[in-house]
Chains A and B, each alone.
Chain A
Amino acid sequence: MVYTARMGHPGGDLSSADILSVLYFAVLRLDPHDPAAPERDRFIMSKGHCSASFYVALAASGFFPLEELDSYMQPLSALCGHPDRNKVPGVEACTGSLGHGLPLAVGTALTARMDGASWRTFVLTGDGELQEGSNWEAAMAAAHYGLDNLTLIVDRNRLQQGDPTEEAMRLEPLLEKWRAFGWAVAEVDGHDVSALLNLFHGLPLERGKPSCIVAHTHKGKGVSFMEDRVEWHHKVPNEEQLAAALRELEAAQ
């Protein structure tokens, strides 16, 4: 998709792919034939730049035909570079500007609380994204309102657009930060499917608190020349690189 569109964010797409797969195939209670069902779980993709892997997860779950993925970022396509809730079934929020997902998720989880509903809210953020102050406003609010129906997953790939996160603006000690803000916290290998499943099936991590799962991941996971390389944040592969990447990913299946 990124190769055809000549634009995109393959590094983050690949660091999130396992998390999205686990969520969409084993955790989220969704009906692709009724994407607005009132009792559905809500998933908010805060790292909207990783739209390619998000659209793949949606299409593979049946929200729209897989062939539509070919229109990614093409003129007039519903599949914009960053997801639009009014155009793509299954998309809950217009994201792409960082630091928007968690505040939206807090409002979403509050709605379920007010209505006494049992559906849950999940939000996936990047790690560099946590430099946006709006996240910490929302972090305070989620803990203040005791939203244990809310789960945040942080894609901790340790790289942002220009630099490693710890060089750009230090995030560590990240788990302690969330704990200090009143969240229940766990960390996990974000590419270990069974470990992710175990955590997700044990939610909430603690009654009365929102859950934060810091998922340690690798940017560009699965493609040797992309892995943990800062330049692959939004680099587009050439034909040879695409072929090599697909070979590696297929071999790993």
Chain B
Amino acid sequence: MNPRVDCRKPFAEALEKLAASDPRVVVVTNDSIGSSNITGFRKRFPERFVNVGIAEQNLIGVSAGLANNGKIPFVCGASCFLTGRALEQMKVDLAYGRANVKVCGMSSGLAYGPLGPTHHSLEDLAWTRVLPNFTVIVPADAAETAQAVEAIAALEGPVFLRVSRMPVAAVHPPDYRFQPGRAVLLRRGSDVTLIACGVMVERALFAADLLAGGGIQTRVLNLSTIQPIDREAILEAAEDTQAIVTAEEHSIYGGLGGAVAEVVAAGCPVPMKILGIPGVFPPTGAPEWLLSHFGLTPQGIAEAAEELLFRRSAHVPRPYSRH
């Protein structure tokens, strides 16, 4: 059995465990107590729990003040409001000031589904990964989420941790140890590489199964650290497989796909396909429905890989190409 888990649960458990052993750990929130699943933390550590109310600029400033004087603040709030609403505070107070603050963007991506674009967070990876000194992490399952909480507390400096609420199955072997900055090789293959993060990793593995049925040996990488990016693993994949498909629950502009493309274009140019939300505000729909709508399914990923391989073998010109 591989039960699907809402990663906010292992997040909260790991945070409480961490706080029990490290008195520097504090939680700062913008009233997002139930939705960040931190009621347990508040109950156990009321003196280390700060609610600044619905005020994200102050949320980040207060956290920087706590961090600069020795605390390790975990900022918990809905990713959509947390990042965009306080982005300049993240740039100046956290990135430039090198404050040891862990910004935890909860219910990211399309998780709020039919609540609509105000509640979707499809820009957060683009916004955070351009900030110098920031580490950006998107765990793919429960185990990785829990380990990431522990790992980022040990990292000195600002971190953006993207935590989904869409239930996901375990994608890692039981002995997996998360290491910040390291891409995780989940499946070996030499025909094409799928690089995914977060909730898309499980789907990429299913896509690899589908492709295997057609005789395509697919490499699958979980790129759980977007920044600093694992150049070696990406360039090795580009060299070995000569084709890369990326998949993310984020805009196709500036996120995982963009980050991979920057590495590939400069180091080992090979054909790529970037799957995600194509620069639009999504229509109304449940999260799963929206993922299907944008082709972010095992089937959709597999088809994109096949098309990329076909184009490469046939040298079929791209649509809109000048040739």
Interface residues of A (CB under 8 A from B): 38, 42, 84-86, 92-97, 99-100, 102-112, 114-115, 133-134, 137-138, 140-141, 144
The answer to whether A111 touches B65 (Cβ under 8 A) is yes
The answer to whether A100 touches B68 (Cβ under 8 A) is no
Chain A residues whose CB sits within 8 angstroms of the CB of B71 once the complex forms: 111, 114
The answer to the question of B171 belonging to the interface, with a C-beta cut-off of 8 Å to chain A, is no
CB of A77 to closest CB in B, whole Å: 17
A86-B98, A93-B97 known; A100 vs B65 contact (CB < 8 Å): no
The answer to whether B61 touches A110 (Cβ under 8 A) is no
Query: Chain B at the A interface: mostly helix, strand, loop or mixed?
Result: helix
The answer to the question of B96 belonging to the interface, with a C-beta cut-off of 8 Å to chain A, is yes
- Chain A residue, CB-CB nearest to B94: A94
Query: Chain A at the B interface: mostly helix, strand, loop or mixed?
Result: helix
- Can you name 23 A-B residue pairings with CB atoms under 8 Å? A84-B96, A86-B97, A97-B92, A100-B89, A100-B92, A103-B62, A103-B65, A104-B65, A106-B61, A107-B63, A107-B64, A107-B67, A108-B66, A109-B65, A111-B71, A134-B57, A134-B89, A137-B55, A137-B58, A138-B58, A138-B61, A138-B62, A140-B58
A/B pair count, beta carbons within 8 Å: 98
Within 8 A of A (CB), among B35-66: 47-48, 50, 52-53, 55, 57-58, 60-66
In order of increasing CB-CB distance, the 4 nearest A-B pairs are A107-B65, A103-B61, A137-B58, A137-B55
Q: How many residues of B contact A (CB 8 A)?
A: 29
- Chain A residue, CB-CB nearest to B30: A137
1/0 contact string of B55-88 vs chain A (CB within 8 Å): 1011011111111111101000000000000001
The answer to the question of B249 belonging to the interface, with a C-beta cut-off of 8 Å to chain A, is no
The answer to whether B48 touches A114 (Cβ under 8 A) is yes
A85-B68, A111-B65 known; A141 vs B53 contact (CB < 8 Å): yes
Chain A residues whose CB sits within 8 angstroms of the CB of B97 once the complex forms: 85-86, 93-94
- Chain B residue, CB-CB nearest to A141: B52
CA distance A102 to B69 in the complex (A): 15
Chain A residues whose CB sits within 8 angstroms of the CB of B26 once the complex forms: 114
